């Protein structure tokens, strides 16, 4: 590619049609679909109005913005190791975590590089070899937290995503985020997961499996299904947590922990920690059933509680008395009851006991 800025194709606005699509996406988000069903139907709607040649669509843990599930269409899947290295270990434009914390939350590669795609390592090393050009990334935020990320790709060529298409995704992003958040709420009960002990995987620097115990093998099959059994390919959700550590410049970074669901809906925690030795840095990954306290913040956020309602609910779950909560939060009895009433309404329950039961995986 030369250094001359490329022209970005400007699609007709089609305002009325796009307004209807935004309204339709908002309605879809309120339909009460699980995350997978919402992703599938949301993408179908999106393809009807925007030209897309490949898609990466992931749900994320809002506490870490690490992937909890991922759809990577061809030809993207073949470049997963390069993608993870770029996302977590390299400087580049429009990183998902950066978009999630920015007011804009949407960014195209052409805009970020002023039309000079080759300035982006991701374009040079990942996209161009796959025949892909401009990409449009969106952090899917609802209630002030990121619940997923979406990346739309176009085949390599002079035209990229137009300003109007970027604006459309800026409008659609919150509805995608809302649909994913509601999907998490729909399947948020932790449940009772049986385990013969923690699953342990040790990864080489290239994220290949150095060793694994039997319980981890079972967990990975529960996460990835036959994709793990047939190819032994580490699920992207696990690889991403490990890649986040491999890219940390600290001599011995602290570990990361995230939460994700298996194919049957069981919530587990993934703890990735660095190991140092003569062979260099390796990563130990610990997999085990998530406990209700580990899921409480996720579930409370998924139900769309306000920050004040979340604080009250969290203390109720810890068993705090009314008086202790009032003193801790410096609020009156009336204010406390108002917050509790809002919590009960959003969960469809009527008492503190029921709230504790819901967050313990025993919905009444």
Three-state helix/strand/coil letters over the chain? CCCCCCCCCCCCCCHHHHHHHHHHHHHHHCCCCCHHHHHHHHHHHHHCCCCCCEEEEEEEECCCCEEEEEEECCCHHHHHHHHHHHHHHCCCCCCHHHHHHCCCCEEEHHHHCCCCHHHCHHHHHHHHHHCEEEEEEEEEEECCEEEEEEEEEEECCCCCCCHHHHHHHHHHHHHHHHHHHHHHHHCCCCCCCCCCCCEEEEECCCCCEEEECHHHHHHHHHHHCHHHHHHCCCCHHHHHHHHHHHCCCCCCCCCEEEEEECCCCCEEEEEEEEECCCCCCEEEEEEEECCHHHHHHHHHHHCCCCHHHHHHHHHHHCCCCHHHHHHHHCCCHHHHHHHHHHHHHHHCCCCHHHHHHHHCCCCC
* pLDDT reported for residue 2: 39
What local confidence, expressed as pLDDT, does residue 188 receive? 65
pLDDT at 106: 98
Domains of the chain: 15-186 (3.30.450.40), 199-292 (3.30.450.20), 305-359 (1.10.10.10)
Which segments of the chain have a pLDDT < 50? Answer: 1-13, 252, 364
pTM for the whole structure: 0.88
Q: What is the pLDDT of residue 7?
A: 42
């Amino acid at each position: 590619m030369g250094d001359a800025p490329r022209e970005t194709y400007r699609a007709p606005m089609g305002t009325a049609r796009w307004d209807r699509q935004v309204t339709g996406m908002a309605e879809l988000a309120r339909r009460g679909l699980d995350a997978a069903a919402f992703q599938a139907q949301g993408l179908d709607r999106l393809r009807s109005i925007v030209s897309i040649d490949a898609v990466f669509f992931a749900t994320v843990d809002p506490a870490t913005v690490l992937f909890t599930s991922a759809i990577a269409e061809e030809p993207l899947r073949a470049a997963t190791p390069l993608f993870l290295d770029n996302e977590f270990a390299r400087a580049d434009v429009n990183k998902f975590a950066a978009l999630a914390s920015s007011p804009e939350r949407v960014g195209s590669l052409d805009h970020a590089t002023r039309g000079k795609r080759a300035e982006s390592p991701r374009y040079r090393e990942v996209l161009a070899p796959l025949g892909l050009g401009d990409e449009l990334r969106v952090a899917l935020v609802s209630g002030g937290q990121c619940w997923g990320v979406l990346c739309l790709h176009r085949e390599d060529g002079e035209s990229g995503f137009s300003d109007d298409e970027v604006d459309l995704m800026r409008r659609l992003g919150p509805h995608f985020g809302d649909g994913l958040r509601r999907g998490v709420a729909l399947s948020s009960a932790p449940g009772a997961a049986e385990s013969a002990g923690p699953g342990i995987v040790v990864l080489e620097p290239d994220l290949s499996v150095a060793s694994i115990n039997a319980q981890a093998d079972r967990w990975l099959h529960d996460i990835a299904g036959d994709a793990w059994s047939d190819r032994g390919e580490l699920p992207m959700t696990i690889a991403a947590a490990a890649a986040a550590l491999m890219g940390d410049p600290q001599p011995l970074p602290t570990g990361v922990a995230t939460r994700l669901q298996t194919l049957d809906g069981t919530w587990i925690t993934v703890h990735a920690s660095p190991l140092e030795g003569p062979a260099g840095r390796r990563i130990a990954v610990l997999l085990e059933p998530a406990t209700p306290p580990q899921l409480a913040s996720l579930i409370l956020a998924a139900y769309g509680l306000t920050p004040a309602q979340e604080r009250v609910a969290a203390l109720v779950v810890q068993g705090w008395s009314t008086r202790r909560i009032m003193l801790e939060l410096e609020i009156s009895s009336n204010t406390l009851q108002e917050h509790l009433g809002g919590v009960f309404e959003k969960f469809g329950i009527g008492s503190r006991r029921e709230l504790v039961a819901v967050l313990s995986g025993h919905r009444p």
